[in-house]
Amino acid sequence: MERMEHICFTLIASAGCARSLYIEAIRQAKDQEFEKAYLLMDEGEKLFVEGHAAHAGLIQQEANGQNSVLSLLLLHAEDQLMSAETFGILAYELIEIHKKIAEKR
């Protein structure tokens, strides 16, 4: 159980940091700081991948017959991971929109 909690907190921390970086990337793009925005996106993606890898490990364990205990903490961790993924997708699109607007000015 302690290992599961550690994995969940790793997921939550990675996803939360990634989401924060994606939001900051949007803000940088809004200020026409596109290079900074893309660097923040890259940094966020690395953190997201860390969280995703931890989650994939849980799925692999279950596929190998090691039953996972479903808990509110795990559900929260998965929710945070999905939220970060959505923010990443939307952040990239918003950066591109800000970039196109800036090019037309």
**Residues labelled catalytic:** 76
For the chain, count helices (H), then strands (E): 3, 0
Residues whose CB is less than 8 angstroms from the CB of residue 96 and which lie 6 or more positions away in sequence, other chains included? none
Residues whose CB is less than 8 angstroms from the CB of residue 4 and which lie 6 or more positions away in sequence, other chains included? 58, 68, 69, 71, 73, 74
- Distance between alpha carbon 48 and the CA centroid of its chain, in Å? 4
